A and B are shown apart, each in its own frame.
Chain A
Amino acid sequence: MNSLSVKDRLDSFRNRFAGCSVVVFADVSTGMVLSASSRERTTQEKLDDLCRRAASRLAAGAHAGVSNRFFGANGLTPSLIEFDAAQRFCIVRSNHADEEALCFLHDGPEPVSEMLAVASELLSDIGAEG
């Protein structure tokens, strides 16, 4: 039986994708960091900022508009990828618990589609064990 902790799973995710600088397992309904893994030493404040940033994106009108218009009929919530010149900020929602999400920052060459798929599997594994 697989007995990896959430932290172990996040470390594994970050090690698999070298361009991932930080990954957070979060409760986006409260903006609370549940677990995290980062490439370099970081502070709780920075992790909290990342969580708040995710919560604000999911609370934005555009997110609700797109979700309702294109994804709502299937009862699905889309992943969100925000990117600019410097990096990509991704939010992947859990299928098991709507308030749970994986948020990560990425500045490497790995395809984001693969990262989203692995993140979704990771959330499913956590949900199945929880």
Chain B
Amino acid sequence: MPDGRTEDAERLCKVLSSLRNIEHGFSARGRPLAKEDAAQRLRAILQEIDETVLRRHLRFTNDRVGDLVLDVAERRLFGVSVGKDVRLEKGDGIAETQISIDDPASVAGVLQGFCAEADSVYVQTEIAQSALPEGVMGLSAADLSAQLFEGSGKAMPSVTLETAIADCRIFALAIFDSDAAEGAAIIGQTALGMELQALDTEHGSGKVIDEQSSPDHCVIWARADAQMPAILKVHHNGRHLWVAFEADQLDACIECWSAIFA
């Protein structure tokens, strides 16, 4: 049996070591989000929405136009405010400049306008204290992407690989990621993860590709009538990882991982 405490300590050391080497260019204004053109800035903002699970205010600042503050939880947008130095947590948390999200097209228009005018954009996250409005579904990055990029053939992927891994953890029994940020990593059940790691050692680089398959694809091996996990292998942008999950989660798994190819 592996020593969990030693593993945790080693992992923490790696994280701290990698943090020391990261050059994000943080400043008082936050993390730079500067991209070359408006479309890239839009995609970066949608990605920020898609990667925000816990309730946060995402504040986008720049030198040319006012702040843009997005109220986000569970990867969905629940509020938009614009203006110079917008503060959301006043009184009941309603700012004067808040924009209704009932109309996705108008929200998309606000984001588009901000990205068209702004050049160097920085993002800061703030913990939101006020309660989410009841009965509001919010807008996902995919909803906004459809509004922003519809017909242009440039729709952003609904989710990134990292987001898919995070979503997948809900139903995965174990994940082996040979190219994780901190090196090869097992998530979930250690014993099952080690089986996946052994598979990766034996068959990790061998890709099942021919002219009928995209280099980016997934393969699942499953039997619904047996008490054994289904196995998924993901190929994406030269990276591959393995997932073990309950066979009755097959459709959820396909839905989760199909999104990275959108």
Partner of B219, one of A80, A111, A117: A80
B250 contacts A112, CB within 8 Å?
Answer: yes
Q: In the assembled complex, which residues on chain B have CB atoms less than 8 Å from the CB atom of A84?
A: 213-214, 216-218, 261
Apart from A69-B199, A111-B251, list 13 A-B contacts with CB within 8 A: A49-B212, A60-B208, A61-B206, A65-B199, A66-B231, A71-B223, A71-B228, A76-B226, A81-B219, A83-B218, A83-B257, A85-B262, A112-B254
Q: Does A35 count as interface, using CB distance less than 8 angstroms?
A: no
Q: Output the nearest chain B residue to A60 by Cβ-Cβ distance.
A: B208
Interface of A, helix, strand, loop or mixed by DSSP:
helix
Q: Choose from A56, A66, A83 the contact partner of B258 (Cβ within 8 Å).
A: A83
Docked CA distance A79–B231 (Å): 11
Assess the B251–A113 pair: CB atoms within 8 A. yes
**Contacting pair B233 A80 (CB below 8 A):** no
B206 touches A60 (CB 8 A): yes
Distance, CA A105 to CA B240, complexed state (A): 24
Q: What's the Cα separation between A129 and B208 when bound, in Å?
A: 34
> Which of A56, A66, A77, A79 sits near B210, CB closer than 8 Å?
A56
Q: Does residue A67 face the partner (Cβ distance < 8 Å to B)?
A: yes
Contact (Cβ within 8 A) A70 B221: yes
- Asked if B203 lies at the interface with its beta carbon under 8 angstroms from chain A, I say yes
A85 and B195 contact, CB distance less than 8 A? no
The residue from B202, B217, B222, B248 contacting A82, defined by CB atoms under 8 A apart: B217
Residues of A within 8 A of B254 (CB): 81, 83, 88, 112
Cα of A101 to Cα of B195 in the assembled complex, Å? 28
Known A83-B258, A84-B261, A85-B214; contact A62-B233, beta-carbon cutoff 8 A: yes
Please, how many angstroms separate the alpha-carbon atoms of A63 and B199 in the complex? 10
With contacts A71-B228, A88-B254 taken as known, whether A62 is within 8 angstroms of B219 at the C-beta atoms is yes
Q: In the complex, which residues of chain A have a beta carbon less than 8 angstroms from the beta carbon of B231?
A: 66, 70, 78
Q: Give the chain B neighbours of A88 by CB distance below 8 A.
A: 254
- Enumerate B199-256 residues with CB–CB distance to A below 8 Å: 199, 202-203, 206, 208, 210, 212-214, 216-226, 228-231, 233, 244, 248, 250-251, 254
A-B pairs under 8 A by CB, number: 99
Asked if B198 is at the interface of the complex by the 8 Å CB criterion, the answer is yes
Is the Cβ of B222 less than 8 Å from the Cβ of A79?
Answer: yes
- With most chain B CB atoms within 10 A of its CB, the pick from A65, A69, A117 is A65
Given A84-B217, A88-B254, is A78 in contact with B208 using a C-beta cutoff of 8 Å?
no
Give 16 A-B contacts (CB < 8 Å), ordered by A residue: A61-B202, A62-B219, A63-B221, A66-B231, A67-B221, A70-B231, A70-B244, A76-B223, A79-B223, A82-B220, A83-B220, A83-B257, A84-B217, A84-B261, A89-B212, A112-B251
Contact of A53 among B210, B225, B258 (CB under 8 A): B210
Tell me whether A62 and B203 are in contact (CB under 8 A). yes
Residues of A within 8 A of B214 (CB): 84-86
Checking B219, B250, B258 against A113 with a beta-carbon cut-off of 8 angstroms, the contacting residue is B250
Cα–Cα distance between A116 and B224 once the two chains are bound (Å): 8
Evaluate whether A79 and B226 lie within 8 angstroms (CB atoms) in the complex, with A65-B202, A70-B195, A84-B214 already known: no
Which chain A residues border B223 with CB–CB below 8 Å?
Answer: 71, 76-79
A66-B231, A82-B208, A85-B262 known; A120+B251 contact, CB < 8 A: no
Q: Given known contacts A69-B195, A70-B195, is B251 in contact with A78 (CB within 8 Å)? A: no
Of all chain B residues, the one with the shortest Cβ separation from A52 is B210
Q: Which of A66, A67, A79 has the most CB of B within 10 A?
A: A66
Q: Could you tell me the distance between the alpha carbons of A122 and B251 in the complex, rounded to whole angstroms?
A: 20
Restricting to A42-62, which residues have a CB under 8 Å from any CB of B? 49, 53, 56-57, 60-62
